[in-house]
Amino acid sequence: MAYDPNNIFAKIIRGEAPAFKVYEDAHTIAFMDIMPQAEGHTLVIPKEYAESIFDLSPEAAASLIKATQKVAAAVRTATNAPGIMLAQLNGAAAGQTVFHIHFHIIPRAGGIDLSFHARKMADMEKLKALAAKIAAAVV
Nearest to 35, CA basis, from 97, 114, 120: 120
Question: Active site includes 102?
Answer: yes
- Selecting among 27, 41, 100, 102, the annotated active-site residue is 102
Q: Is 70 exposed, middle or buried (0-12, 13-18, 19+ CB in 10 A)?
A: middle
User: Which residue stretches of 22-138 are H helix?
Assistant: 58-79, 124-137
Enzyme catalytic residues:
102
